[in-house]
Amino acid sequence: MTLKSALQDVRETTLAAVSGLLAKLAYLASLRRQEGGYLHWGVSLVHGQPSCDRALKEAHGEVLSRVLRTPLSALVEDLHHSSEDSGKTAKAYVEGMHEQIGDLLPLQQDAASARHLNSVLVALSSLEKDQEGATPSTS
**pLDDT at site 4:** 84
pTM value is: 0.88
DSSP secondary structure of 48-93: -HHHHHHHHHHHHHHHHHHHHHS-HHHHHHHHHHHHHHHTS-HHHH
Give the per-residue pLDDT at 3: 74
Contact 56, 13 (CB under 8 A): no
pLDDT, averaged in runs of 10, over the chain (139 residues): 80 94 95 87 92 94 96 96 90 94 81 93 90 54
Q: What is the pLDDT of residue 137?
A: 47
pLDDT of residue 103: 87
| CB of 40 closer than 8 Å to CB of 14 | yes
